[in-house]
A and B are shown apart, each in its own frame.
Chain A
Amino acid sequence: MPGDTIESEFPRFRQAGYSITSPESDDYNCIAWAAGDTARKWDPDPTSGRYWPEGVPRTLDVESFIQLFTNKGGYSPCDGDALEQGFEKIAIFMSLGQEVTHAARQLASGAWTSKLGDWEDIEHNSLAGLESSFYGRVAIILKRPRLGKVA
């Protein structure tokens, strides 16, 4: 999507800053991207035909997504989105209707990376830039020790 389309959907990005880091793709979605998978979409709806790990509830409740990342990814809830050396964080967004809409992953630099639906991946400086009528707000932040080289 052109930048003005992204900024139209997420007006806060005009000030918060972001950059596009991939071509558009509908091969994977934001949940898969947050989990490090670019080969398939992750979706709890059994009718979707998409991947969802065994044993995780198939609902859009935030509790299901907390279970997804804690039980399957080794994350645990934490207090804030500030960069903590040696830790990787995931932010889960929830709409006013109390449904999970999006997940973003923190990079080692402290910036965040998001896959915007079927649009591009972006790198963004803050989570506030993604707060919008559809994505809603951050519901919870999770963290785990960063895999690989830990400072």
Chain B
Amino acid sequence: MAQVEQETPGTLEQEFNELARQWRRETGIMSLIRQKAMHPAYQKIIGMGRDALPFIFLELRNRGGDWLWALESIARPKVDPAQGTTNFHDAAAAWLKWGEENGYA
């Protein structure tokens, strides 16, 4: 009988980290988020859905980077947490606060 391999938190985190590394490496020459976000590794991370949110928030907190596009795509909150912010630092902080309040960060 074939065994179904269950995704453990460890392997999911490893998968995220590998995809994030690949994305950073292969989009280094890009300047604009829309083009960075179209990279297959970034799209795979979005495809991981809400399971990816804790890893994205950790990455955003520790290294920064263009993760707001992925957060918006995955979380789809009714009210944009970054609404009214005027710079990236405040927008990222607003998303991190949303992540904490919703148990992802």
Contacts and interface: CB of A to CB of B under 8 A. Distances in A.
Interface of A: 1, 9, 26, 29-31, 40-41, 43-45, 47-51, 60, 99-102, 115-119, 134-135
A40 B87 contact: yes
Interface of B: 24, 27-35, 64-66, 68-69, 72, 82, 85, 87-88, 91-92
Contacts of B85: 49
A60 B92 contact: no
Contact of A49 (B28, B29, B88): B88
Given A43-B32, A47-B33, A47-B68, 5 more contacts: A29-B32, A43-B31, A49-B85, A100-B32, A101-B32
B29 A119 contact: yes
B31 A48 contact: no
A99 B88 contact: no
Contact of A117 (B30, B65, B82): B30
Given A48-B68, A51-B87, A1 B28 contact: yes
B68 A41 contact: no
Binding site secondary structure of chain A = loop
A118 B88 CA distance: 16
Contacts of B65: 26
B87 A48 contact: no
21 contacts: A1-B28, A29-B31, A41-B31, A41-B88, A43-B31, A45-B33, A45-B34, A47-B33, A47-B68, A47-B69, A48-B33, A48-B69, A49-B88, A51-B88, A99-B34, A102-B31, A117-B29, A117-B30, A118-B27, A118-B28, A134-B29
Contacts of B66: 48
Most chain A C-beta atoms within 10 Å of own C-beta, residue among B30, B31, B82:
B31
A102 B33 CA distance: 12
